[in-house]
């Protein structure tokens, strides 16, 4: 059986420590703060980041150097036949496109597979977990990649912002709109899917109101297109994301979701700094992802071709 390694970037909300524990290679995303470069989770943690942000530091995001990414591929390929790499959605960063081009070079063609499934944050992490589950089942690399690409958009994530200041800093809204939103104490709910961070419900003033909006939005997704996929609404992953170092609201939201949806498990992860630099601290999110099918089967012909290719190498 082929050995398959899994790799993602820190936009999934997974820390270096989590990656080591779960057997997932994590690419740390780079940031420039007041002109100095930092790597998420390596030379910059969440506490440091928000302290700098609070002091008005100028923050800009960047994509990881392709040399760092390919060196990780090289390391993984020393002990594995294939690497499946999950960068953040190509609609939100050029890092996916850069990695995809590199994966088609002679050195990595047929050995490294870059998955562009339109995800970031907790849905991105869930795709990584789905990949690991298929590997455990013994599915071949072609089947795994096909399923991941076909099911990538079967997710939704909604985010409540505690403040509009950081959208203003990033130029996403005007200073006038930010000032008006602050005066009205608005806590807007945004939606992230595929290519953009978009408004969903702007005129909300309380955390409880935002939670209600997000739960209703997720329920609509579950009972809408997710149910249309297979007629089932029980095979859903529920997730919560948050920014900042205070987990109080996020933990309370997890219990609230469990109670209202009658479920036992809700995954909770911090928002990556790539998102947090736009939301600021105090952001709270809810996501739902459709579980991958249980009855996936390999294409035996492809599996045989794999063995032939290995012999030719």
* In the chain, domain spans: 4-152, 155-290
Burial of 307 (C-beta count, 10 Å sphere; 0-12/13-18/19+): exposed
To which residue do tokens 């059986």 refer? 1
Per-residue tokens: 96: 């996916």
The answer to which of 28-37, 87-96, 285-294 has the lowest mean pLDDT is 87-96
Distance CA 136, CA 25 (A): 17
Structure confidence at residue 41 (pLDDT):
92
At 301, the pLDDT band (50, 70, 90 cuts) reads: very low
Per-residue tokens: 243: 């920014």
Nearest to 284 by CA among 190, 178, 168, 216: 190
Name the CATH topology of 4-152: Rossmann fold (3.40.50)
CA torsion 96→99→103→104, rounded to 10°?
80
**What is the per-residue burial (b if ≥16 Cβ within 10 Å, else e) of 129-154?**
bbbbebbeeebbbbbbbebbeebbeb
CA torsion 245→248→254→27, rounded to 10°?
10
Structure confidence at residue 311 (pLDDT):
44
Residue 117's CB: how many other CB atoms inside 10 A?
Answer: 21
Return the SS3 of 119: coil
Structure confidence at residue 88 (pLDDT):
87
What's the whole-number mean pLDDT along residues 139-161? Answer: 94
Per-residue tokens: 130: 């789905």
Structure confidence at residue 57 (pLDDT):
85
Q: What length does the chain have? A: 313
pLDDT at residue 155 tops 80: yes
CATH number of 155-290: 3.10.290.10, 3.40.50.300, 3.40.50.10540, 3.30.1180.10? Answer: 3.30.1180.10
Distance CA 115, CA 118 (A): 9
Torsion angles phi and psi, residue 175, rounded to 5: -55, -35
Per-residue tokens: 23: 């057997």
Structure confidence at residue 264 (pLDDT):
95
Structure confidence at residue 302 (pLDDT):
47
Which pTM does this prediction carry? 0.86
Per-residue tokens: 300: 């035996």
What's the whole-number mean pLDDT along residues 198-204? Answer: 60
User: What is the sign, positive or negative, of the torsion defined by CA atoms of 204, 207, 209, 214?
Assistant: positive
Task: Give the chain's mean pLDDT.
Answer: 85
Distance CA 268, CA 250 (A): 8
What's the whole-number mean pLDDT along residues 234-242? Answer: 96
Identical fold for domains 4-152 and 155-290, yes or no, is no
Distance CA 216, CA 199 (A): 16
Distance CA 103, CA 117 (A): 16
**Rounded CA Rg of the chain:** 20
Nearest to 36 by CA among 56, 58, 55: 58
């Amino acid at each position: 059986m082929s050995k398959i390694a899994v790799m993602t970037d820190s936009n999934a909300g997974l820390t270096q420590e989590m990656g080591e524990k779960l057997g997932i290679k994590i690419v740390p995303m780079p940031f420039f703060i007041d002109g100095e470069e930092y790597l998420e989770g390596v030379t910059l943690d969440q506490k440091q980041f928000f302290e700098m942000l609070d002091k008005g530091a100028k923050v800009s995001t960047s994509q990881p150097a392709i040399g760092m990414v390919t060196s990780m591929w090289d390391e993984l390929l020393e002990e594995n036949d294939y690497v499946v790499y999950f960068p953040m959605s190509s609609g939100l960063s050029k890092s996916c496109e850069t990695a995809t081009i590199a994966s088609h070079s002679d050195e990595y063609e047929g050995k490294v597979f870059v998955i562009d499934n339109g995800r970031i944050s907790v849905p991105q992490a869930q795709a990584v977990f789905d990949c690991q589950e298929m590997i455990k089942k013994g599915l071949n690399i072609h089947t795994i990649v096909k399923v991941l690409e076909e099911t990538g958009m079967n997710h939704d994530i909604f985010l409540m912002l505690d403040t509009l200041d950081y959208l203003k800093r990033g130029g996403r809204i005007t200073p006038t709109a930010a000032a008006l939103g602050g005066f009205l104490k608005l806590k807007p709910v945004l939606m992230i899917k595929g290519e953009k961070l978009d408004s969903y419900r702007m005129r909300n003033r309380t955390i409880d109101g935002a939670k209600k909006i997000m739960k209703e939005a997720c329920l609509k997704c579950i009972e809408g297109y997710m149910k249309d996929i297979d007629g089932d609404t029980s095979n859903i992953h529920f997730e919560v994301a948050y920014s900042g170092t205070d987990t109080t609201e996020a933990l309370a939201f997890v219990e609230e979701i469990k109670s209202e949806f009658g479920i036992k498990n809700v995954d909770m992860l911090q928002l990556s700094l790539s998102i947090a630099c736009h939301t600021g601290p105090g952001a709270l999110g809810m996501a739902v992802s459709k579980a991958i099918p249980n009855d996936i089967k390999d294409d035996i012909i492809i599996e045989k071709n794999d063995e032939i290719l290995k012999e030719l190498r």
